[in-house]
């Protein structure tokens, strides 16, 4: 394990962007395998009487794993690499914030939650919708249904995760740290999608529509 970590450190030092891209793809692919496993187990447990033996048997959707892995490689890897590196330089060099200070960490967490978090969720839901063969209309409906609940629920967790990240983890390892937490996040997003039009999701949707109508009036 130590040899593997040293090999990763060497790759990161020599080819930082390439290493971030590949590692993000691998971790997001593993995350989707875990998510499919959790989703299947939840579905079988929820409806044990109407599931046939064939339905109960678990089959991985490798196309979905590939699509999720590609999202990690094409978006999370490169965008995350430049985001965390750029954000750190901005605060240290441009704004002259003291690294690891409360102001430094709080600003990073706030900007990450306001900018990167929502963009990442929006791109994820949009990309996964199109990658699974859905139409533009279907993707729009799925984004309307899932984006706000995911943003609100994750908004209570990710700031805590990122406080530890920005305070204790060196910049070059911050995306790796985030990607490992995304293993859990993939399970959550998969569960969220499985909920379809659950009543609690409809509440978020009605709240969003009400705010939109208030802005118009």
Q: What is the pLDDT of residues 78-98, one digit of tens each?
A: 999 999 999 999 999 999 999
pLDDT attached to residue 139: 94
Q: Which residue has the higher pLDDT, 38 or 104?
A: 104
pLDDT attached to residue 203: 56
Domain residues for 206?
2-216
- Cα torsion for 85, 123, 11, 108, to the nearest 10°? 20
Q: Which residue has the higher pLDDT, 147 or 212?
A: 147
Tell me the C-alpha distance between 173 and 150, whole Å.
25
Read off the pLDDT band of 54 (50, 70, 90): low
pLDDT attached to residue 58: 81
pLDDT attached to residue 202: 60
Read off the pLDDT band of 48 (50, 70, 90): low
Tell me the C-alpha distance between 21 and 75, whole Å.
8
Look at residue 56 and tell me whether its pLDDT is greater than 90: no
Q: Where are the alpha helices (DSSP H) in 47-157?
A: 53-56, 62-71, 77-89, 102-111, 117-131, 136-154
Tell me the C-alpha distance between 206 and 143, whole Å.
14
Q: How many domains does the chain have?
A: 1
pLDDT above 90 covers a percentage of the chain that reads 57
CA-based radius of gyration for the chain: 19
């Amino acid at each position: 394990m130590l040899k593997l970590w040293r090999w990763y450190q060497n790759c990161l030092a020599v080819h930082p962007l390439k290493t971030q891209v590949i590692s993000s793809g691998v971790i997001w692919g593993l995350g989707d395998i875990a998510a499919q496993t959790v989703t299947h187990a939840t579905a079988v447990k929820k409806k044990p009487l109407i599931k046939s033996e064939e339905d109960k048997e678990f089959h991985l959707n490798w196309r979905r794993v590939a699509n999720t892995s590609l999202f990690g490689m094409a978006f999370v890897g490169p965008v995350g690499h430049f985001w965390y590196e750029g954000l750190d330089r901005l605060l240290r060099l441009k704004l002259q914030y003291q690294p690891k200070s409360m102001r430094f960490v709080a600003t990073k967490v706030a900007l990450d939650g306001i900018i990167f978090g929502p963009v990442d969720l929006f791109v994820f839901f949009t990309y996964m919708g199109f990658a699974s063969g859905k139409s533009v209309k279907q993707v729009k409906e799925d984004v309307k249904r899932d984006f706000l609940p995911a943003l609100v629920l994750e908004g209570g967790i990710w700031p805590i995760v990122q406080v530890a990240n920005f305070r204790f983890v060196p910049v070059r390892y911050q995306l790796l740290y985030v990607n490992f937490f995304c293993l859990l996040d993939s399970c959550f997003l998969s569960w969220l999608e499985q909920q379809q039009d659950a009543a609690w999701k409809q509440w978020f949707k009605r709240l969003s529509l009400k705010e939109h109508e208030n802005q118009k009036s």
